[in-house]
Amino acid sequence: MSRKTNDHGEPFGAWLMVRAGEGSAIGELAAAAKADRGFPPSATPEDLRARLRAAMAEGDMFEAVDEAEIDWLAF
């Protein structure tokens, strides 16, 4: 089961969307999430992985989710 918030009480989806525009894979992932009207700020990393699987996303997007999850939990 994915965690709903990090140690600061911030949901993954909300944390991710503010990173849109960063010059990194996480920034690109964040921009895509922000542009997706169906992506909720309350989303967990596993919710995002499920959306990517449904969209048949490429492997590098999943790597970006893994990286983002680590950063989110460390925040």
pLDDT digits (tens, 9 = 90+) for 62-72: 999 999 999 99
Q: Do residues 67 and 12 lie in contact, with contact meaning Cβ atoms separated by under 8 Å?
A: no
* 2 domain residue, yes or no: no
Quick check: is 7 in a domain? no
What's the CATH number where 42 sits? Answer: 1.10.150
Structural domain count, the chain:
1
State how far the Cα of 3 lies from the Cα of 20, in Å rounded to an integer. 22
- In whole angstroms, give the CA distance from residue 29 to residue 38: 15
Q: What is the pLDDT along the chain (75 residues), one digit of tens a residue?
A: 568 999 999 999 999 999 999 999 999 999 999 999 999 999 999 999 999 999 999 989 999 999 999 999 998
Q: What is the model's pTM?
A: 0.91
Distance between CA atoms of residues 31 and 19, nearest Å: 8
Could you tell me which of 34, 10, 40, 36 has the C-alpha nearest to residue 21?
Answer: 34
Q: Please report whether residue 37 resides in a domain.
A: yes
pLDDT at 75: 82
Identify whether 25 is part of a domain.
Answer: yes
What pLDDT was estimated at residue 66?
97
**Is the residue at 3 inside a domain?**
no
| Domain housing 44 | 12-74
Within a domain: residue 5?
A: no
